[in-house]
Chains A and B, each alone.
Chain A
Amino acid sequence: MRAAITSNQMTMAGNAARRLLQTAWADERRVDITVITGIEAVAKTVSSDPVASVTLLRTAIEPVHLRQYGYRELFWLAHRLKEIAPHDLEFVVDFYQAAYAWHETSADTTQMGTSALLSLSSNKRQDYQGAWHQLEEFVPSLMELDIRAATQAVARAVEGYVRRAHPTPSDANAELQVIFSINGTDTRLLRDSSLFWFRGGYVDRVDAPAHPHGFAQELRKAVQEPDGESTFAAVVNTFRAETTAAGLWGIAFDIAAEHLHLAHLLAPLASAEPILRSLDLLHSLGTYLTASFHALSDANRSAIEQAILALSGPGVETTRSRLAGCIPSGTIETTPMREYRLTLDQSGGAPPNEPVFKITSSYGSYDSDTHLASQGVPLDAKETV
């Protein structure tokens, strides 16, 4: 039977590990194997002195260091978050934030392993993306350990991605980030263009777009547990405290639409103007209203109806009519909304709540006539027949 490390030995191993990593990072001639050993050793001995260990490991996610060595180091540290998380969740959250705020794009070759016989190579970009894969894999465990930290981590990962990959919002002429108040508390929404990268069909499974899917899948399981409502409330509250991307808010609305007892937790959001105006959220919000409006309190229904009708500005009519149309007519609470719906119905009805953006495909025969027609050639014209 393998002997277990004693408490005193753990202290000594931690001390040696931290010094090894400090030395390796300070070396003028960097030796990767020493750095990697140091990272792994410090992570595995984090219990020996969590503060000293994490303080040191934070070097790895400092922006300048990360850009220079992230492709070498991040994978190994991401792989060891399971050891660190029980001791320092804040570091884990910061790690997700840092890892997705930067993307290694270099295709410079890197060596995998040291074998001279079976020499395998990769590149910097792929090596860096290996860390993202580790982070995606870790989310379910992190959710089990601490739902707030896991929610923060995912929110920051997606925020990093959005600021990096989609800095221009899908809503025309809007700022990327909007801050609004709900019951006196600031709430932040990131207009993330997720209607293209998350709702639109193709999802980049390597980068942060992989997170909303995984997070939604795990959250759907979690809300069915006996403490599901408190879990969902924790997620919503954490989203409100973070700069949460619309794609993630959409997941919350989707799940609330599936579980009516959770719907009330999102009602204050459903009456917030920036949420109502978000093209990224339009479909999810509409679905939520259709499924759960009847389960909301009179006050909540009234507030949402008033907020929908209060939307103003150029081009807003489509949004207003579509959302109003999502409210089942028998559950309308206020007279102005009833009147608005009547007007809508008399003028042909509200637009259907369909995804704002979707990719479809079709197939058929493709011959020379089809090709010429696609190039604008009038096939029926006398001179081209």
Chain B
Amino acid sequence: MLANWPGSKPGIVIIDALDAARKLETQAVLREIVGEILALPNSRWTVVASVREYDIRQGTNWRSMFRGSPPIPAYASREFSAVRHVYVDALTDSEIKQIATPFGALHALFNGAPPKLRELLRNIFNLHLLAELLNDGTTSEALAGIRSQPELLDSYWQRRIVGNEGRRDHREMALETIVKKMTAAQSLQVPRSIRNDVDPDALRDLEQNDVLRSDDSEASGGDVLLFSHHVLFDYAAARLLFLRGRNADALVKLLKEQQPLTIMLGPSLTLALIDVWNAGSPRTGFWKLGFALSAATDLPGVAQLAAPMVVAEVANDINDLEPLIAALDAEDSPKTPAARFLEKLVGALFVRINGGMSLVGPEAGPWLELASRLADLPGKSPIRICRPIIARVTDSL
């Protein structure tokens, strides 16, 4: 169609949220279309697509399809230096001020927020969520303690789904049915006919609370339901399917049973892992889940990498890593779940290093301390696995 579109002026094909396409078939169609457009000889068409970092990181096809140099160096991510992209960075203080000034409570909350919450609010979705909570009447004091996106989503969940009218179970059951339906269909939307399977009052509540909304586009005929933002789907799946990571065996069993869904549920798995990480030191629940995922060698790589990615992102104290050290100490073999975890953690750290993280300096995480602690263990495998970290650090000296 585009090849035969009349005209000679440059044209732009815009695809918003490639990451919203969770179904493998949909992803394949999108890739095929974009590939064909890019392959048109002397094409006047430019493809502009938006996608989350997570998805471009996981999907090598998109990276190779958009191979090239970032056109605007000031808006480029080091991690994707070989991808032709424009990096939409976190909101700056002045941008947040611009957004929050008309909304006094939001402005005051941001100004008084501790550093971790401020960083969280630089993500526009998080800012939007927080603004909605304030709008709902949640007090600034109740929100000031939030440190992570799952905590923010939990506050949202408490307000919009749990509520205080005693209808929590109805709403959660309705959401669980919807999420399962979406998952089974590998789609982020369900036909409205789902109302036959769920409590209609709960469905009405969820729509009224803007957790779900109708797709009123002509293409859908207004006949489908979807989450008001796909992160809400991810979080709903993290809570209702993955039980916030609190039951490691059940979660692994589910992933094993639904392996094709790993990519679709990848963000949910990450949210569940962060949630269980935040459940408190010494992170026992997290490590139980992390090792269980690591032991399930038949799971796709994306699932096995999720927990190490979370550790690479959030661990900032050697105490967080003690269970890993203890497990590596208990048995020296490159094939133990702990050793496999460590191997992937090293890989995850390199993803972050490519994004600008440093292993040295006052702001560095506990990674050199981890390598040094592993050096003191009697077993040989851990220090061997740490080789890339040691090489990286000493290369920079």
Q: Is the CB of B362 within 8 A of A16?
A: no
Partner among B358, B360, B374, B390 whose Cβ is within 8 Å of the Cβ of A17: B390
Given the contacts A3-B363, A12-B368, A13-B372, A20 and B358 also touching, CB distance less than 8 Å: no
Partner among A6, A16, A38 whose Cβ is within 8 Å of the Cβ of B360: A6
Partner among B360, B376, B389 whose Cβ is within 8 Å of the Cβ of A3: B360
Q: Which residue of A lies closest to B379 (CB)?
A: A23
What's the nearest-Cβ distance from chain A to residue B371, in Å?
Answer: 4
| B269 / chain A contacts, CB cutoff of 8 Å | none
Main DSSP-derived SS at the B contact region? helix
Q: Is the CB of A15 within 8 A of B360?
A: no
Binds A, one of B31-39, B277-285, B380-388: B380-388
Q: Is the CB of A3 within 8 A of B394?
A: no
Given the contacts A12-B369, A12-B372, A13-B394, A20 and B360 also touching, CB distance less than 8 Å: no
Q: Is the CB of B358 within 8 A of A2?
A: yes
Q: Is the CB of A16 within 8 A of B374?
A: yes
| A11 / chain B contacts, CB cutoff of 8 Å | 372
Q: Is the CB of A9 within 8 A of B368?
A: yes
Partner among B360, B363, B387 whose Cβ is within 8 Å of the Cβ of A34: B387
| A2 / chain B contacts, CB cutoff of 8 Å | 358, 396
Q: Is the CB of B368 within 8 A of A37?
A: no
Bitwise, A19-53 to B at CB < 8 A (1) or not (0) is 11001101100000110011011001100000000
| B376 / chain A contacts, CB cutoff of 8 Å | 15, 19
Given the contacts A2-B358, A3-B358, A6-B361, A17 and B394 also touching, CB distance less than 8 Å: yes
User: Cα distance A5–B367 when bound, in Å?
Assistant: 13
Residue among B360, B363, B364, B374 with the highest chain A CB neighbour number at 10 A: B360
Q: Is the CB of B360 within 8 A of A5?
A: yes
A381 CB–B CB distance under 8 Å: no
Partner among B358, B363, B383, B390 whose Cβ is within 8 Å of the Cβ of A13: B390
What's the nearest-Cβ distance from chain B to residue A20, in Å?
Answer: 5
Partner among B361, B363, B372 whose Cβ is within 8 Å of the Cβ of A5: B361
What's the nearest-Cβ distance from chain A to residue B375, in Å?
Answer: 4
User: Cα distance A40–B392 when bound, in Å?
Assistant: 11
Q: Is the CB of A16 within 8 A of B397?
A: no
Residue among A6, A11, A16, A44 with the highest chain B CB neighbour number at 10 A: A16
What's the nearest-Cβ distance from chain A to residue B159, in Å?
Answer: 41
Q: Is the CB of A16 within 8 A of B358?
A: no
Residue among B362, B363, B376, B391 with the highest chain A CB neighbour number at 10 A: B391
User: Cα distance A5–B369 when bound, in Å?
Assistant: 13
What's the nearest-Cβ distance from chain B to residue A14, in Å?
Answer: 9
Partner among A3, A20, A38, A40 whose Cβ is within 8 Å of the Cβ of B361: A3
User: Cα distance A2–B386 when bound, in Å?
Assistant: 22
Partner among B364, B384, B389, B397 whose Cβ is within 8 Å of the Cβ of A23: B384
Q: Which residue of A lies closest to B391 (CB)?
A: A37
| B383 / chain A contacts, CB cutoff of 8 Å | 16, 19-20, 23
Partner among A4, A18, A27 whose Cβ is within 8 Å of the Cβ of B375: A18
| B387 / chain A contacts, CB cutoff of 8 Å | 20, 33-34, 37
| B363 / chain A contacts, CB cutoff of 8 Å | 3
Given the contacts A16-B383, A23-B383, A37 and B369 also touching, CB distance less than 8 Å: no
Partner among A4, A13, A34 whose Cβ is within 8 Å of the Cβ of B384: A34
| A41 / chain B contacts, CB cutoff of 8 Å | 390-391, 393-394
Q: Is the CB of B372 within 8 A of A16?
A: yes
| A15 / chain B contacts, CB cutoff of 8 Å | 372, 375-376
| B390 / chain A contacts, CB cutoff of 8 Å | 13, 16-17, 20, 37-38, 41
Q: Is the CB of A9 within 8 A of B375?
A: no
Q: Is the CB of B364 within 8 A of A9?
A: yes
User: Cα distance A70–B389 when bound, in Å?
Assistant: 26
What's the nearest-Cβ distance from chain B to residue A40, in Å?
Answer: 6
What's the nearest-Cβ distance from chain B to residue A85, in Å?
Answer: 16
What's the nearest-Cβ distance from chain B to residue A240, in Å?
Answer: 39
What's the nearest-Cβ distance from chain A to residue B374, in Å?
Answer: 7
List 11 A–B pairs whose Cβ atoms lie within 8 Å, in order of A's numbering. A3-B364, A4-B360, A6-B362, A9-B361, A9-B368, A9-B393, A13-B393, A16-B368, A16-B375, A37-B390, A41-B393
List chain A positions with a Cβ less than 8 A from chain B: 2-6, 9, 11-13, 15-20, 23-24, 26-27, 33-34, 37-38, 40-41, 44-45
Which 3 residue pairs spanning A and B have beta carbons closest together?
A3-B361, A19-B375, A12-B372
List 7 other contacts, CB 8 Å, given A12-B368, A16-B390: A3-B363, A5-B393, A5-B397, A12-B369, A13-B368, A16-B374, A20-B375
List chain B positions with a Cβ less than 8 A from chain A: 358, 360-364, 368-369, 371-372, 374-376, 380, 383-384, 386-387, 389-391, 393-394, 396-397
